[in-house]
Homo-oligomer: A and B are copies of this chain.
Amino acid sequence: MLTRNPHLARLKSRYLFSEIGRRRREFADAHPGVRVISLGIGDTTEPLVAPIVAAVRERAAAMGTREGYAGYGDEQGLTALRQKIAEVVYRGQVAPEEVFVSDGCKCDIGRLQLLFGPAAHLAVQDPSYPAYVDSAVITGMTGDLIEARGQFAGITYLPCHADNGFFPVLEAIPHRSLVYFCSPNNPTGAVATRAQLTQLVTAVRERRGVLVFDAAYSAFIRDEGLPRSIYEIPGAREVAIETSSFSKPAGFTGVRLGWTVVPRDLRYEDGAAVHDDFNRIVTTVFNGASVFAQAAGLAALGPDGLAATRRQIDHYMGNARLIRETLEQAGFKVFGGVNAPYLWARIPGKTSWEAFDELLYQAHVVATPGSGFGPAGEGYLRFSAFAHREDVEEAIGRLRRVFAKPGS
């Protein structure tokens, strides 16, 4: 028999959300009839808005006709959708042909890892979305797991914590790194300012690296002064790839639609365009997003779709405000939840998993252990605003009871 890919063998055996699921099932088995409310995984809960439903139904009907049927499309996505993303999301700051439509950020991250090969050095925020590191491990960009630290050799982790305002010390970024940076941040809910992103772009450029900017939560930014795309920063086109998604702003977590922007100005050391290689990767190991998902995406970016999804985002941000107020009233230090759908709460004197279990067993509420996103997340819980309103209300009622301050 063949041997196992040695890179795969390095992966930790259990993924964060699987472990949460396991603990939930264990609790449910021991406490039948108790209703657990999840403010854990960042999965959308509100139905697709009417203009999107109508568009998919129309596209489905058309696919049943000779005139409307479509087989293989361009792997990079429908021209109309690439144009719409360039125009509506980027206001012309990127060209349509720089937009690669995909079946989601997570899948694109796996494909992006192939661009620079096993020799590239990875730098990630700590805490961060686990897929950046896990997909890099699979493609051989890292060393072994250092069990004691819960980190992989060969990766530079950039701690983001309350003391540095969740923005890393940029001097720690090694030369020639592939730097993953997420803003609004999953999990901390922090949003980098224009000044910070300008520093980041400068730092990556000076170090002759490449930045992968994860903008999957940009639609949740309310403060008009905060950048929603890395391409609002001068010079970013020469150093940054941006990956983003319809998942959270339009509820497409099951629909599967995202995109990645690779500007023509981004070059390898030898002057070749990274764009050309990403195009080659996409055409070789991908075959385009579903025609139904792309129809849904076009509708989401139309005037009716934008208005309706904006109301849905308002709903989630209303949830975020309620959760934030409750946690603050309970005496916790809370970050995020203002321009991001995630709240990052410091739980003093407990590990993240201890806090997770306490919340599950006392309040029957699920949050995500911060340590699952990296060592700097230890002692935090991530709360997600993706929930039905009555569930949030029920959850915060339970939280208030459990965390009621003595004497209050």
Contacts and interface: CB of A to CB of B under 8 A. Distances in A.
A254 B8 contact: no
A272 interface: yes
B256 A2 contact: no
A5 B73 contact: no
A119 to B, nearest CB: 7
A64 B291 CA distance: 18
Contact of A72 (B15, B114, B254): B254
Contacts of A288: 254, 256
B70 A254 contact: yes
Interface stretch (A45-53, A227-235, A328-336, A341-349): A45-53
Interface stretch (A23-31, A276-284, A362-370): A276-284
Given A64-B53, A288-B256, A289-B256, A267 B69 contact: no
Given A1-B208, A43-B71, A114-B139, 4 more contacts: A4-B270, A53-B60, A69-B251, A140-B140
Nearest to A268: B4
Contacts of A57: 56-57, 60-61
Contact of A270 (B3, B48, B277): B3
Given A4-B268, A253-B71, A103 B290 contact: yes
Contact of A253 (B41, B66, B72): B72
A254 B73 contact: yes
A300 to B, nearest CB: 13
A89 to B, nearest CB: 20
B272 A208 contact: no
Contact of A283 (B15, B47, B388): B15
Nearest to A105: B287
Nearest to A210: B2
A254 B60 CA distance: 11
Contacts of A292: 56, 60, 255, 290, 292-293
Given A2-B208, A63-B48, A254 B131 contact: no
A147 interface: no
A3 B269 contact: yes
Contacts of A118: 5, 118, 140
Contact of A116 (B3, B178, B281): B3
A285 interface: yes
Interface string A107-138: 10111001111111000000000010011001
A178 B2 contact: yes
10 contacts: A3-B117, A5-B118, A11-B280, A18-B283, A48-B69, A56-B63, A107-B285, A138-B281, A256-B288, A289-B290
A106 interface: yes
Given A254-B288, A291-B255, A2 B139 contact: no
A156 interface: no
Interface in A279-312: 280-281, 283-293
A72 to B, nearest CB: 5
A65 interface: yes
Contacts of A47: 63-66, 68-69
A122 to B, nearest CB: 11
Nearest to A50: B64
Contacts of A291: 254-256
A233 B8 CA distance: 30
A143 interface: no
A64 B49 contact: yes
A110 to B, nearest CB: 3
A256 B64 contact: no
A287 B64 contact: no
A267 B52 CA distance: 45
